[in-house]
Structure 1
Amino acid sequence: MEIKEIKSNKKQYIDLLLLADEQESMIDRYLERGIMYILIDKGKVRSECVITVENGNTVEIKNIATYPEDQKLSNLLCK
């Protein structure tokens, strides 16, 4: 497994982002200023997380999602 920061073209993961936030207009409000990470396992993106820094010292999770077929730990370990 690998965790990778995504610095550009974050909208390529819109299908995964929409699992956690159903309104694309809301995603647009934080996506570009947010720090995005994806989890890759066996060459496939499984999860994502977007965080923002608020007020200089507070970090907020804005979006976190895992594809439904990957939501059970045993699924990841047995693939």
Structure 2
Amino acid sequence: MEIRKVETDKKRYLDLLLLADEQEDMVDRYLERGTMYVLEDDGIKAECVVTDEGGGLLELKNIAVTPDDQGRGYGKALVDFLVQTYKRQYAILQVGTGDSPSTIPFYESCGFRRHHLVRNFFTDHYDHAIYECGVQLVDMVYLQREL
């Protein structure tokens, strides 16, 4: 398993990016200003994008694992990599996600705790309803962990 930084042509991973953030213009808001990593293990298995939000805050804007490889520890490996890579540069790692029974437990298992939420984020910023595990996403839940 190898995790490497993607310096150019980040959009070549658009299909994977859209698994985590299904509207391309929303991905465009952070992709170029973010730092992207891909995890390879006999092929690309996962990706993530982080951004510097100032004040010691690093935000995980996108993390996705290929559908056939979910549940194999690749997402956790990326989070662990981010913690180790950025612990001397930032104080907090933050992630915003929908209030979904599949994502919240994953982040909590990686050491994140609920911090705050932005009401109606998904209904206000996306041009269509987004569903995850049969639940419509409405509010953005922010979780944080110390680095």
User: 1:11-66: CA deviations, max 9, x gaps?
Assistant: 00000000000110000000000000000001x10000000000141100000000
- What percent identity do the matched residue pairs reach? 58
Q: Which has the higher contact order (CA 8 A, sep 6+)?
A: 1
Q: How many residues align?
A: 73
Which residue pairs with 1:51 in the alignment? 50
Which residue pairs with 2:67 in the alignment? 68
Matches of 1:22 and 1:46, distance apart in 2? 18
Unaligned runs of 5+ in 1: 75-79
Which TM-score applies when normalising by structure 2?
0.48
What root-mean-square deviation, in Å, do the aligned CA atoms of Structure 1 and Structure 2 show?
1.2
From the CA coordinates, give the structure whose radius of gyration is larger: 2
Between 1:25-34 and 1:51-60, the stretch displaced more is 51-60
Q: Larger % of strand: which? A: 1
Which TM-score applies when normalising by structure 1?
0.88
Matches of 1:24 and 1:56, distance apart in 2? 28
Unaligned runs of 5+ in 2: 74-147
Moved over 3 A (4+): none
Which residue pairs with 1:3 in the alignment? 3
Which residue pairs with 1:77 in the alignment? none
